[in-house]
Amino acid sequence: MRLGLGHVVLDPRDFRLEAFNAGLKLLDRHWVEVLFRKLDQRIAGLAGEQVFQVHPEPFDPSACSVNKRCAVSNAIPASMKAIVGPQPDGAEELAVVERQVPRPGPGEVLIEVAAAGVNRPDILQRRGLYPPPPGAPDILGLEVAGTVVEAGEGAEDHVGHPVCALVAGGGYAEYCAAPSGTCLPVPEGLSLTEAAAMPETMFTVWVNLFERGFAADGDNVLVHGGTSGIGTMAIALGQLFGLKVIVTCGSDEKCTRALELGAAVAINYRRQDFVEEVKNATAGQGVSVVLDMVGGDYVPRNLACLAEEGRHVSIAFQRGAKAELLIPDLMRRRLTLTGSTLRPRSVEFKTMVADEILRTVWPYAEGGRLKPVIDSTFPLDAAADAHARMEAGEHVGKIVLEVKR
């Protein structure tokens, strides 16, 4: 196939393509300028390799004409809409700003964002309580899904592919740079909105429940916040890997939803004593792992829920950063206290987790047995409403910003 660009005829061999039926799309970060007086030279030679990228979609030559600066359809613009934190005075202060489109560095890709997941840590960042780690952008957002439109050295294979990605920041934007190692292919049958709702909770639950907590087939586990983004993912993964997931929720309605989603037991922590209920649900044995996002005075009560050799994994401390423990109890029952926070971990670590998830969990997503629970979606411009929804605490599952509607 030969493609025409104004007066100039391009041939796939100009781009060192082996497949002669490949569709071509010319991409320039701003404009592609074709010099009329140099028609006798090959375009590829004129413009330099970085101007051109090869995509599986057909290129529309009508968008360009010779001897003009011309916008190429789907060209990457110089600037983009983004939501920047912190805005310390509340959700309504979140404003859409204009930012430069990031350039992917070596090993990175640039994703044209279709959707970005909203997570509780974004609320903390907006309030100034959770600054981005060094090197991360101040744009909010820890997970995205979209199409890779540009790649740095070593990540070229991803260009043109739909992916979802874990990022250390930058998700609430039209474009987001991501390490190629933390990108996962969008599973067949999942929308980009659903895919955007997966990485942050998937990585967090995988690392903390299975790796740090050593949850294994047949284990009873206790997960607080059963209808949270994290809680719904823990229920889903627990079902796939043979766990009996006991959850706590703040209302009977949420308990009902958690049971519908696959929790074995749902405890309304506002009117039931979860320590007693866990004892009842486990015939007095206790659970192997507690995944705790509450902290404070919950910690000694969580320890009381653990079986001998049980593991307590902290991922947040919504009720306080300090806890009082009985050390002899830890010793007598050989309990383990651990915890982690995902965002500041190295790209190498996150890449290793992505590889594990790809091998172990992704086949279930590909097979339609794993989907995130979507509570609601908002356009990017309404990020403040999305935050307000999360802060109201009425959501079940994930809130997602749809950047391209």
Ligand X SMILES: NC(=O)c1ccc[n+]([C@@H]2O[C@H](COP(=O)([O-])OP(=O)(O)OC[C@H]3O[C@@H](n4cnc5c(N)ncnc54)[C@H](OP(=O)(O)O)[C@@H]3O)[C@@H](O)[C@H]2O)c1
Q: Rule CB under 6 A: which residues touch ligand X?
A: 119-121, 200, 204, 224-225, 227-231, 248-250, 254, 269, 293-294, 315-316, 318-319, 340-342, 390, 393
When the beta carbons of 162 and 170 are compared against ligand X, the nearer one is 170
**How many C-beta atoms lie closer than 10 Å to residue 207's C-beta?**
22
User: Please, what is the minimum distance in Å from the beta carbon of residue 112 to ligand X?
Assistant: 25
User: Please, what is the minimum distance in Å from the beta carbon of residue 190 to ligand X?
Assistant: 19
User: Please, what is the minimum distance in Å from the beta carbon of residue 263 to ligand X?
Assistant: 12
Residue recorded with tokens 């959770």: 130
Burial class (CB in 10 A: 0-12, 13-18, 19+), 189: exposed
Contacts of 90-94 with C-beta under 8 Å, sequence gap 24+, read 91/126, 91/384, 91/385, 91/387, 91/388, 91/391, 92/384, 92/388, 93/384, 94/126, 94/140, 94/383, 94/384, 94/387
154: left (phi over 0), alpha (psi -120 to 50) or beta: left
When the beta carbons of 113 and 123 are compared against ligand X, the nearer one is 123
When the beta carbons of 89 and 297 are compared against ligand X, the nearer one is 297
When the beta carbons of 133 and 242 are compared against ligand X, the nearer one is 133
User: Please, what is the minimum distance in Å from the beta carbon of residue 218 to ligand X?
Assistant: 25
Local structure of 211: helix, strand or coil: helix
User: Please, what is the minimum distance in Å from the beta carbon of residue 210 to ligand X?
Assistant: 14
User: Please, what is the minimum distance in Å from the beta carbon of residue 357 to ligand X?
Assistant: 15
Local structure of 110: helix, strand or coil: strand
Q: Which helix (H) or strand (E) holds 291?
A: strand 287-292
Q: Which helix (H) or strand (E) holds 126?
A: helix 120-126
Local structure of 79: helix, strand or coil: strand
User: Please, what is the minimum distance in Å from the beta carbon of residue 5 to ligand X?
Assistant: 47
When the beta carbons of 53 and 204 are compared against ligand X, the nearer one is 204
When the beta carbons of 228 and 288 are compared against ligand X, the nearer one is 228
Q: Given 3-state DSSP classes, what are the helix, strand and coil percentages for the chain, each rounded to the nearest 5?
A: 30, 25, 40
User: Please, what is the minimum distance in Å from the beta carbon of residue 71 to ligand X?
Assistant: 38
Write phi, then psi, for 328 (nearest 5 degrees): -60, -30
Please check whether residue 323 is in contact with residue 299, taking contact to mean a CB–CB distance below 8 angstroms: yes
In whole angstroms, give the CA distance from residue 321 to residue 318.
8
When the beta carbons of 173 and 222 are compared against ligand X, the nearer one is 222
In whole angstroms, give the CA distance from residue 325 to residue 311.
14
When the beta carbons of 55 and 257 are compared against ligand X, the nearer one is 257
When the beta carbons of 161 and 319 are compared against ligand X, the nearer one is 319
Q: Which two tokens stand for residue 321?
A: 């950063």
Q: Which two tokens stand for residue 163?
A: 């992916």
User: Please, what is the minimum distance in Å from the beta carbon of residue 342 to ligand X?
Assistant: 3
User: Please, what is the minimum distance in Å from the beta carbon of residue 319 to ligand X?
Assistant: 6
Local structure of 339: helix, strand or coil: strand
When the beta carbons of 145 and 230 are compared against ligand X, the nearer one is 230
